[in-house]
Amino acid sequence: MGPGSAIHVFIFALLISISGKFAGAEISSEVGINYGRLGNDLPSPSKSVELIKSLKAKRVKIYDANPDILKSLRNTDIQVSIMVPNALIPNMSTSQHFSDQWVETNVVPYYPDVKIRYLLVGNEILTNPDTGTWFNLVPAMRRIKISLTRRNIRKIKVGTPSAINVLESSSPPSNGTFRSDVSGPVIKPMLQFLNRTKSFFFIDFYPFFAWSENAPNISLDYALSNAQNVFGFFIAETGWPNGGDFEQFGANTYNSATYNRNVVRKLTTIPAIGTPARPGVAIPAFIFSLYNENQKPGPGTERHFGLYYPNGTEVFEIDLSGKTPLSGYKKPLPLPTNNEPYKGKLWCVVAKEANRSAVKDALAWACSQGNKTCDEIQPGKECYKPVSLFRHASYAFSSYWAEFKKIGGVCSFNGLATTTFKDPSFGQCKLPSVTL
């Protein structure tokens, strides 16, 4: 047996140990909600807490330690997960004083009136190539735990959420293995820490992306109904998009409601269903997310995971307590119209209500990418007149996407762009398109 195999065996033994503690811990499988705030049109924290209560959520996870949100959660029965931002991890990993001060500022003023139960260090740190933070992660977790212990705060579990790509293999879930670049230097000491502190392995799990990338080989019904078959013991994020770009088939309200209701039904079943490897074990989870967030970067699905629209109206009915049976939801769901891949031409244009200043910057960036992206919107060219920021930007966005899609370019521009099947060309100006 080589050293790599020995590490895998050691990590597997630790996971079994952690799962055993998890099975015996006082943890319920009630489903919570992720409360992200990457939007410029979202309700206030106090209104948001009322919406969280209306979902009958018993847990909420936020992506910082926002004081207004924490104040709004005082004296509620909602368990709270707070987060140390990624940018603070290097300082926290090397300075106990820095860690102590963070806890003094962000935990002590609210605890125990706010039922903080989880303190997550960073968010999906191991997803992207290392920028010097990977090896600071576990030391930062250790320091924050020391800071809590010094203040006799013992009910808060320390962890960190990882994306599913932390696994090298995840099928079948019970045979999952961690990526070789992190398994020894990061995952091994992390699992030792989680085992010693009786904490949990947090993972973000999105079947939509796995299904959409391999739709010919994965049944949509299977993807929508098998939420519990995940390698991991605390689902920090899971959900299904209620909308997206035209090329993002399967992202619709019907599928989002179906998936999220199935998550709630399966994870709140009594007795607990567990996983194939650990039947009967409660699996806590946070649904992503409370709102559609219009400033999230990336493709359109990133801005369409919410259970609520920013105006506070529900995208679809859902009861996170699990007490409403599937037959108990009365409002009919709109039938899906995009469960098959879109075939035809698409253009990338400025989204409605996009910020003019941000669009101007995005236009300049698109034009700076070369390959004659913006030649046709120069003075004297076919697409110069009428002189309009949004028309010029739509041309530049479409031209950029048509030129660079084949090497990974996307129609996003930090949420300023959207795809359309309606040809936005005008007069003699023909906007480049992408054909799917």
Among residues 237, 293, 302, 403, the one annotated as catalytic is 237
Tokens of 418: 């959207």
Q: 317 catalytic, yes or no?
A: no
The CA angle 7-134-176, to the nearest 5 degrees, is 40
**Which residue among the candidates 30, 124, 376, 403 is catalytic per the annotation?**
124
* Burial profile 203-232: b = 16 or more Cβ within 10 angstroms, e = fewer: bbbbbbbebbeebeeeebeebbbebbbbbb
What are the structure tokens assigned to 386, written together? Answer: 């009428």
- Tell me the two tokens of residue 317: 């009915």
| CA 214 and chain centroid, separation | 20
Whether omega before 112 lies within 30 degrees of 0, making that bond cis, reads: yes
Kindly write down the DSSP assignment for every residue of 238-280, as one continuous string. E---S---TTSTT-SHHHHHHHHHHHHHHHT-SS--B-SSSBT
- Angle between the N-to-C axes of helices 188-197 and 3-24, in degrees from 0 to 180, rounded to the nearest 10: 20
Half-sphere exposure (Cβ direction) of 6: Cα atoms closer than 13 Å: 3
What is Dmax (Cα atoms) for the chain?
A: 73
Residue 229 tokens, joined: 């078959």
Residues near 272 by beta carbon (within 8 Å), at least 6 away in sequence: 29, 280, 281, 282, 283
Backbone angles phi, psi at 417, to 5 degrees: -120, 160
Rounded Cα distance between 12 and 177, Å, is 9
Q: Which residues are catalytic?
A: 124, 237
